[in-house]
Amino acid sequence: MPTQEVILRCHNCGYENEHQRVYCHSCGTKLDRSALPPELTARKNTSKVEQRIRKMTNPRRGKVSGAFKALGKSLLAAFVLAFLVVVFLPPDDVPALIGPIELTSAPTIYDDLTNASSQPPARRLAYSEPGANAYLQAAYRARDIDFYLIPLRFERAYTKFNEGNVQITGQVSLFGLSLYAGGTYTLNLKSGKMDKNCLGGHLGRLQIPGYVMQFVDGALSPLWKLVDRDRRIIQQMQTITFRKGAVEIMSRG
Q: What is the mean pLDDT of the chain?
A: 85
Q: What is the pLDDT of residue 42?
A: 59
Q: Contact, 226 vs 157, CB < 8 A? A: yes
DSSP state of 89: S
Share of the chain above pLDDT 90, in %: 43
Q: What's the burial of 241, exposed, middle or buried (CB within 10 Å: 0-12/13-18/19+)?
A: middle
Q: What is the DSSP-derived secondary structure letter of residue 23?
A: B
Averaged pLDDT for residues 158-174: 94
**Residues 202 and 216: beta-carbon distance below 8 Å:** no
> pLDDT at position 200, please?
93
Taking the whole predicted model, whether its pTM rises above 0.85 is answered as no
Would you report the helix, strand and coil content of the chain in percent, each value rounded to 5?
A: 40, 30, 30
Q: What is the pLDDT of residues 85-111, one digit of tens each?
A: 888 899 988 999 999 898 999 999 999
Instruction: Inform me whether the pLDDT recorded for 47 exceeds 60.
Output: no
pLDDT of residue 133: 96
Least confident range of 23-32, 102-111, 114-123, 176-185: 23-32
> How many Cα atoms within 13 Å fall on the side-chain side of residue 53?
5
Predicted confidence (pLDDT) at residue 30 exceeds the cutoff of 80: yes
pLDDT at 44: 46
**Structural contact between residues 94 and 180, judged by C-beta atoms closer than 8 angstroms:** yes
State the pLDDT confidence band at 61, using cuts at 50, 70 and 90: low
Q: Band the pLDDT of 2: cuts 50, 70, 90.
A: very low
| Exposure string over 55-71, b if 16+ CB within 10 A, otherwise e | eeeeeeeeeeeeeeeee
